[in-house]
């Protein structure tokens, strides 16, 4: 509980200052008049959607006037994006969108900043937990934070996905764009005429492929004396080459002959290592609302910054997503050891303003908050 503090009022004040300075070109997206926009606000729950704007300048004015907590736009193109009925919108196609969130990836840093509580027996612990080790209940309340390691791991998954899209699907990097999700990962957008009209089934096939689901072992392996070996070598395209390169790496260059069960286990490990950790629901949804670039995330105060493919390889990604400069003096209780790119301790301390706002919006127990 933040005693004496009003996180909603504080957060909205900072967001108002940010949106006052945001230029229309910062929130421009392709085929702008054909996109649906949606917002959630600091006051009240729920989402206001089915909004449309003629120009980015109109949207920019709306942001300055209403100061939303979250801003989304549709991956789909519509002839009538403001229609309340989905059938009346007139779907004209959709971008191919991928969501990569570090929640779906195991990282050692989660032991430093995430925690859980069992709602049934009250057991607690650090890191992640899906089933209580004490009572086996799956009713788990999680406290989730993000650090620089999380973001770098998510970035590596994005680069892995881009390699799939470019080399296996022939999609040009010019047709891809990447934005920070504002929280714990990235969104990858593909705008291509060849994909725009693709339905849910076709998009699910793409998901299955980049995740390595449904691989046919009969096509991968061939029987030889003593067991099975790979049918293809490391020069093969697609998953055949990935599996061969992975097997070569872990066999010191020797050709492996193993029984079928051992091969299946090895290939599963390869798929787990080489497949892209994406959220299927986002990609197959042809009406998906996705966070608008350069908008602020209401639980973090971080900016959904856009990155070029080359910029993703930077070692300081966080510098691009920090929306606020300066420092704050805060007194905090029950804080994680590390958030974003700073170490924390309980009690009164001077920290960067972006980190203080992140703590406040993400539910840290803050006793006092003073901008310096």
Specify if 138 maps to a domain. Answer: yes
Specify if 80 maps to a domain. Answer: yes
Check whether residue 172 and residue 203 sit in a common domain. yes
Residue 341 has pLDDT above 80, yes or no: yes
Helix or strand run (H / E) with residue 342: strand 342-343
137, 223, 231 from 259: Cα distances, Å: 38, 9, 14
User: Cα separation of 272 and 2, whole Å?
Assistant: 41
- Strands 140-143 and 115-118, sheet pairing: antiparallel
Helix or strand run (H / E) with residue 227: strand 227-230
User: Cα separation of 250 and 236, whole Å?
Assistant: 18
Q: For position 241, what pLDDT does the model report?
A: 94
Residue 159 has pLDDT above 80, yes or no: yes
Check whether residue 69 and residue 204 sit in a common domain. yes
58 has catalytic annotation: no
Specify if 167 maps to a domain. Answer: yes
Residue 2 pLDDT class (50, 70, 90 cuts): low
Domain holding 331, by residue range, is 325-372
Check whether residue 317 and residue 340 sit in a common domain. no
Q: Which residues are within 8 A (CB) of 11 and not within 5 positions of it... i.e. 6 or more apart?
A: 42, 69, 298, 301, 357, 360, 361
DSSP for 110-161 reads HHHH-EEEETTT--EEES--SS-TTT----EEEE---BHHHHHHHHHHHHHH
Check whether residue 20 and residue 162 sit in a common domain. yes
* pTM of the full structure: 0.92
User: Cα separation of 208 and 282, whole Å?
Assistant: 13
279 has catalytic annotation: yes
168 has catalytic annotation: no
Check whether residue 39 and residue 99 sit in a common domain. yes
Check whether residue 266 and residue 124 sit in a common domain. no
Percent of the chain past pLDDT 90, that is, above it, reads: 82
> Which one from 58, 114, 279, 285 is the annotated catalytic residue?
279
Lowest mean pLDDT among 16-20, 138-142, 245-249, 359-363: 245-249
Specify if 1 maps to a domain. Answer: no
CA atoms within 13 A on the CB side of 211: 18
Specify if 233 maps to a domain. Answer: yes
2, 11, 248, 326 from 333: Cα distances, Å: 10, 19, 50, 22
Check whether residue 98 and residue 38 sit in a common domain. yes
Check whether residue 48 and residue 78 sit in a common domain. yes
Check whether residue 232 and residue 173 sit in a common domain. no
Residue-averaged pLDDT of the chain:
93
Residue 342 pLDDT class (50, 70, 90 cuts): very high
Q: For position 3, what pLDDT does the model report?
A: 58
The number of domains in the chain is 4
> Which one from 85, 87, 101, 216 is the annotated catalytic residue?
101
Check whether residue 117 and residue 71 sit in a common domain. no
Q: Which residues of 49-61 are buried (b: 16+ CB within 10 A; e: fewer)?
A: bbbbbeebeebbe
User: Cα separation of 319 and 352, whole Å?
Assistant: 12
Lowest mean pLDDT among 1-15, 95-109, 230-244: 1-15
Residue 287 pLDDT class (50, 70, 90 cuts): very high
Residue 252 has pLDDT above 70, yes or no: no
User: Cα separation of 82 and 49, whole Å?
Assistant: 8
- The answer to whether 111 touches 126, Cβ cutoff 8 Å, is yes
Specify if 2 maps to a domain. Answer: no
User: Cα separation of 321 and 232, whole Å?
Assistant: 43
User: Hey, which bits of the chain come out as E strands?
Assistant: 37-41, 48-51, 68-74, 76-78, 91-94, 96-101, 115-118, 124-126, 140-143, 176-180, 185-190, 221-224, 227-230, 289-291, 306-307, 327-333, 338-339, 342-343, 347-352, 365-371
Check whether residue 99 and residue 126 sit in a common domain. no
């Amino acid at each position: 509980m933040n005693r004496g503090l009003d996180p909603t009022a504080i957060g909205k004040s900072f967001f108002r200052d940010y949106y006052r300075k945001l230029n229309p070109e910062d929130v421009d997206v392709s085929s702008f008049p054909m996109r649906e926009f949606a917002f959630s606000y600091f006051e009240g729950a729920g989402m206001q959607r089915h909004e449309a704007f003629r120009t980015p300048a109109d949207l920019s004015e709306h942001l300055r006037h209403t100061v939303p907590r979250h801003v989304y736009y549709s991956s789909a193109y519509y002839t009538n994006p403001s229609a309340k009925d989905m059938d009346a919108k007139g779907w004209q196609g959709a971008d191919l969108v991928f969501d990569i969130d570090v929640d779906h990836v195991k990282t050692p840093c989660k032991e430093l900043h995430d925690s859980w509580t069992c709602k049934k027996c009250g057991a607690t612990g650090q890191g992640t937990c899906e089933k209580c080790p004490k009572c086996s209940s799956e009713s788990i309340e999680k406290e989730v934070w993000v650090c620089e390691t999380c973001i770098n791991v998510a970035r590596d998954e994005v680069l892995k996905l881009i390699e799939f899209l470019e080399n296996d699907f022939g999609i040009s990097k010019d047709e891809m764009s990447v934005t920070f999700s504002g929280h714990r990962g990235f969104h990858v957008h593909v705008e291509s005429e060849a994909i725009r009209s693709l339905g849910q089934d076709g998009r699910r096939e793409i998901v299955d492929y980049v995740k390595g689901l449904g691989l046919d072992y009969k096509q991968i392996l061939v029987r030889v004396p003593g067991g099975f070996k790979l049918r293809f070598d490391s020069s093969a395209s697609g998953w055949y080459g990935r599996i061969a390169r992975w097997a070569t790496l872990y066999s010191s260059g020797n050709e492996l002959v193993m029984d079928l069960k051992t091969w299946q286990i090895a290939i599963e490990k390869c798929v787990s290592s080489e497949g892209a950790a994406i959220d299927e629901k986002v990609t197959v949804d042809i009406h998906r609302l996705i966070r608008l670039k350069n908008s602020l995330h209401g639980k973090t105060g971080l900016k959904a910054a856009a990155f070029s493919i080359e910029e993703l390889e930077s070692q300081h990604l966080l510098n691009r997503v920090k929306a606020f400069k300066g420092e704050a003096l805060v007194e905090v209780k029950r804080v994680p050891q590390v958030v974003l790119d700073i170490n924390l301790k309980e009690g009164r301390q001077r920290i960067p303003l972006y980190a203080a706002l992140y703590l406040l919006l993400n539910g840290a127990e803050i006793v006092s908050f003073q901008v310096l």
